């Protein structure tokens, strides 16, 4: 069953049934100020950090689902409705939600009134603009009442949930004209406030939640709306909200526009006050003035559209498959921007309270984003590296507002350091900017400990070889990429976290074959980079260590038909045919085949054949098999999930692209493509009722073949799947790879693909690449011509400004 359709020309997904199987959301904002908005106008807004600078309140995992957001109520005589259907849930005569590139437009109609609501965050603006257009489609005069509503939460969003004895006594607001200002805690420790404005005279307002809502009413029918009259309440303590009340008269066929602005302001300490206890409103007024007419709002929206035109024109695919085109050209790139901005911190599954930006996560997110805005990727790399420890270890996460490591999560995830090499190498290959390696970057944000970024890479590399186990494989530490494989935890207390409780690493023999494969892949990249910048001795040293790791995997990491996953605390095999459950895991098959370990001996082929036989399913590749049916204390959290979900034999989509890339290393384009289609959301649109999450973005997890309901997805949007799938399809299946000296072209596609075209902007130059496959091969480049001249090899050299025609003939 479908709940809408793609509008590729407008780069929108159009939802026509508000009762989606899960809230289908969009992200507004591209830099400092962000909002999440669902297809029924649920969600919340924040500045930089969803924990410490949350503007609006949101209650997660609520019943009914997705309650609370930025709502507009329309009272038309005895009928009360909202354009997004919720929260009133009054049956609408018309409903449509258009999620676009950083904007959402929701339109509802009832009894001859049409309400079109537009939500977006203008570029370089700490505010969300909401334009409400009301139209009378009847032949009679209509008199209606419009109420806006949102609930403030401009304080620690975690504290908001549990410190009610304080938070129910601190609310403070000011109202001036048509603007409601939220200034809770502003007089003591804050230099920031929020405001909600409408560009119209108002007939009343409310700033106290209970006065507006009524103590026993619900979002669906607030007391003030039911009464048809605002109370002009003041939130002095208690729960502050913002609601404007406007009486609207519309002639037949007439439309009226109202522009609401929800904004965030920071004032210097010496400029906080206009007078005693009266906040300095000048910065807010300046923002309001920028968007006080429809013409100004439309101009800002046009600027936003042009911004996205520029980003999405850097890689444009043309095939005869519309689903593939829309994912590569629009939605996958869009999701990569969102994951770059958010890491895993703020979604409808990640509450934005317990997580910051991930060291591992953000480095991986870079590979899907770096081609869009390399300079922002550069800044992110420096931020990430600054939280590293002098021994190469890392804070697993850092807070986006402070850019400092998150002590609550801590470190000890031993795969973290190697991801920095991925991020840096990807950035340099895209931008050509080797100067980043000379940047002085602190450790643990301590400038006195600063060394060059290249030194950080060296220390990252050394962290692995300085922490090897008895088999010469990397020690896993707290965990590797799979945070739920807790080989050193041994938890018996249901009140402790598997991932943050003290781990028993002393004397542990717990080693990770996945980290070994990761080390070989990016160790090779470190060697190439070292040679490139004139450090041959370091390159030779590193290559020797990579070679040792390859041999260790071949001798101690191979199980006969696939690669082991790990060794546990006691030195027993994990992911072996000898095990009762969890005989094979996906991660090490992906990384070791990507690394080409044992390729000549047939190990890679056997490994991927075992993946096909044991891990593949109708909806993607499961993480492990057989699923765990009992708690294995030596393995930790992975064995706590019901079979088929999350890390226990769920389809953890993030790692499916590793297998796709491994297949391309063997030249098996058919297999890579089939795996790609199974988890790609555009190909799942027709089963939305089962899949549940948005058909325009990837989900982290799809229920596996052992689950109660295989094919059901969870945790959409903020997942490394976005970057890795974009990386796999563009660089390994389509085969257009940025390299130090140009664009390397090496497609690996199904044999029935006869041709495709890619327009790739690379370092300011446009390359029109046409790939021809007359003989139906899966891999191999017979010739490449550039502007009519054949070149040697398969690397299109760096060319001067302009547009260049590249013809690639496979064979």
Question: Other CB atoms closer than 10 Å to residue 800's CB: what's the count?
Answer: 7
Would residue 483 show up in a list of annotated catalytic residues for this protein?
yes
What strands, in cross-sheet order, belong to the sheet with 43-47?
Answer: 25-28, 33-38, 43-47
410 — alpha (psi -120 to 50), left (phi > 0) or beta? left
The answer to whether 277 and 294 are in contact (CB under 8 A) is: no
Give the list of residues 6+ apart from residue 391 with CB closer than 8 angstroms, or none. Answer: 459, 463, 466
Residue appearing with tokens 């990807």: 426
| Rg (the chain; Cα; Å) | 28
Token output for 692: 């549940």
Which is nearest to 713 in space by CA: 673, 679, 675, 677? 679
Question: Other CB atoms closer than 10 Å to residue 160's CB: what's the count?
Answer: 18
Query: How are beta strands 566-567 and 4-7 bridged, if at all?
Result: unpaired
Helices (H), 330-441: 332-342, 359-369, 374-385, 416-431
What are the two backbone dihedrals, phi and then psi, of residue 319, each rounded to the nearest 5 degrees? -130, 180
Which is nearest to 522 in space by CA: 537, 536, 538, 542? 542
793 — alpha (psi -120 to 50), left (phi > 0) or beta? left
The answer to whether 623 and 655 are in contact (CB under 8 A) is: yes
Total number of residues shown for the chain: 811
The answer to whether 430 and 370 are in contact (CB under 8 A) is: yes
Q: Which of 206, 208, 365, 483 is catalytic?
A: 483
Which is nearest to 43 in space by CA: 104, 88, 110, 115? 104
What strands, in cross-sheet order, belong to the sheet with 71-76?
Answer: 79-81, 71-76, 142-151, 240-250, 204-208
Question: Other CB atoms closer than 10 Å to residue 404's CB: what's the count?
Answer: 15
Q: Positive or negative, the Cα torsion across 565, 555, 591, 359?
A: positive
Token output for 619: 């909806």
Report the C-alpha gap between 799 and 763 in whole angstroms: 9
Furthest C-alpha separation in the chain: 85
Report the C-alpha gap between 55 and 151 in whole angstroms: 8
Give the containing element (helix H, strand E) for 556.
Answer: helix 536-556
Q: Could you give the C-alpha distances from 484 to 334, 463, 479, 646, 703, in angstroms and in order?
A: 29, 22, 7, 9, 17
Three-state SS string over 109-171 comes to: EECCEEEEEEEECCCCCCEEEEEEEEEECCCCCEEEEEEEEEEECCCCCCHHHHCHHHHCCCC
Residue appearing with tokens 């309901």: 709
Q: Report helix, strand or coil for 282.
A: helix
Q: Could you give the C-alpha distances from 429 to 410, 423, 433, 540, 737, in angstroms and in order?
A: 31, 10, 8, 22, 9
Token output for 242: 């913002």
What strands, in cross-sheet order, belong to the sheet with 699-702?
Answer: 651-652, 699-702, 713-716
Catalytic residues: 483
């Amino acid at each position: 069953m479908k709940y809408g359709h793609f509008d590729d020309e407008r780069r929108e997904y159009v939802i026509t049934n508000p009762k989606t199987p899960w809230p289908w959301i969009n992200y507004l904002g591209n830099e400092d100020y962000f909002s999440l908005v669902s297809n029924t106008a649920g969600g919340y807004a924040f500045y930089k950090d969803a924990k410490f600078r949350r503007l609006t309140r949101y209650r997660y995992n609520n019943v009914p689902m997705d309650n609370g957001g930025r709502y507009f109520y329309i009272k038309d005589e005895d009928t009360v409705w909202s354009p997004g259907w919720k929260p009133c849930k009054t049956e609408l005569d018309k409903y449509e939600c258009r999620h676009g590139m950083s904007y959402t437009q929701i339109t509802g109609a009832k009894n001859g009134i049409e309400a079109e609501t537009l939500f977006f965050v203008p570029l370089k603006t700490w505010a969300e603009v909401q334009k409400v257009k009301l139209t009378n489609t009847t032949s009679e005069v209509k008199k209606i009442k419009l109420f806006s509503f949102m609930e403030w939460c401009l304080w620690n969003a975690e504290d908001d949930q549990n410190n009610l004895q304080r938070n129910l006594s601190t609310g403070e607001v000011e109202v001036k004209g048509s603007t409601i200002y939220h200034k809770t805690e502003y007089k003591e420790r804050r230099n920031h406030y929020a405001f909600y404005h409408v560009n119209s005279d108002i007939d009343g307002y409310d700033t106290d939640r209970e006065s507006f809502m009524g103590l026993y009413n619900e979002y669906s029918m607030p007391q003030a709306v039911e009464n048809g009259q605002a109370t002009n309440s003041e939130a002095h303590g208690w729960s502050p909200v913002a609601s404007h009340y406007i009486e609207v008269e519309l002639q037949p066929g007439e439309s009226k526009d109202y522009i609401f602005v929800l904004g965030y302001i920071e004032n210097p300490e010496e400029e906080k006050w206009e007078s005693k206890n009266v906040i300095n409103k000048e910065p807010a007024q300046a923002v309001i003035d920028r968007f006080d007419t429809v013409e100004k709002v439309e101009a800002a929206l046009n600027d936003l559209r042009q911004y996205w035109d520029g980003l999405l024109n850097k890689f444009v695919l043309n095939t005869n498959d519309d689903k593939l085109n829309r994912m590569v050209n629009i939605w996958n790139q869009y999701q990569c921007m969102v994951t770059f901005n958010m890491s895993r911190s703020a979604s409808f599954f990640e509450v934005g309270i317990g997580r910051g930006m991930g060291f591992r996560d953000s480095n991986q997110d870079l590979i899907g984003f770096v081609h869009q805005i390399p300079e922002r990727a550069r800044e992110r790399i420096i931020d990430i590296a600054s939280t590293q420890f002098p021994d190469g270890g890392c804070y697993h996460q850092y807070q986006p507002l402070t850019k400092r490591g998150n002590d609550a999560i801590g470190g000890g995830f031993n795969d973290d350091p190697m991801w920095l090499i991925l991020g840096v190498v990807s950035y340099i290959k895209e931008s050509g900017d080797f100067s980043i390696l000379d940047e002085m970057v602190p450790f643990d944000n301590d400038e006195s400990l600063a060394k060059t970024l290249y030194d950080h890479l060296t220390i990252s590399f050394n962290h692995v070889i300085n922490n090897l186990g008895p088999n010469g494989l990397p020690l896993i530490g707290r965990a590797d990429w799979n945070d739920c494989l807790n080989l050193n935890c041994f938890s018996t207390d249901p009140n402790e976290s598997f991932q943050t409780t003290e781990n028993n690493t002393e004397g542990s023999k717990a080693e990770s074959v996945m980290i070994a494969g990761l080390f070989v892949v990016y160790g090779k990249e470190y060697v190439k980079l070292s040679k490139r910048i004139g450090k041959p001795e370091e390159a030779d040293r590193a290559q020797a260590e990579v070679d040792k790791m390859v041999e260790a995997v071949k001798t101690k990491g191979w199980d006969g038909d696939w690669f082991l996953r790990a060794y546990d605390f006691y030195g027993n095999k994990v992911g072996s045919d000898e095990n009762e459950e969890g005989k094979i895991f996906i991660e090490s098959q992906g990384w070791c085949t990507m690394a080409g370990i044992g390729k000549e001996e047939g190990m890679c082929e056997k490994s991927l054949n075992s993946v096909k036989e044991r891990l593949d399913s109708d909806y993607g590749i499961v993480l492990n098999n057989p699923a765990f049916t009992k708690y294995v204390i030596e393995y930790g959290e992975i064995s706590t999930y019901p079979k088929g979900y999350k890390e226990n034999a769920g389809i953890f989509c993030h790692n499916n692209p590793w297998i796709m890339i491994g297949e391309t290393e063997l030249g098996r384009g058919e297999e890579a493509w089939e795996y790609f289609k199974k988890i790609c959301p555009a190909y799942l649109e027709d089963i939305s009722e089962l899949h549940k999450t948005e058909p325009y973005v990837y989900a982290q997890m799809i229920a596996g073949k052992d689950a109660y309901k295989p094919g059901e997805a969870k945790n959409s949007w903020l997942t490394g799947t976005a970057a890795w799938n974009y990386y796999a399809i563009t660089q390994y299946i389509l085969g257009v790879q940025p390299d130090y000296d140009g664009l390397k072209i090496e497609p690996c596609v199904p044999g029935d693909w006869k041709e495709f075209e890619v327009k790739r902007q690379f370092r300011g130059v446009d390359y029109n690449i046409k790939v021809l496959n007359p003989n139906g091969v899966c891999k191999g480049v017979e010739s490449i011509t550039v502007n009519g001249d054949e070149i040697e090899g398969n690397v299109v050299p760096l060319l001067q400004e302009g547009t260049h025609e590249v013809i690639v003939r496979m064979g």
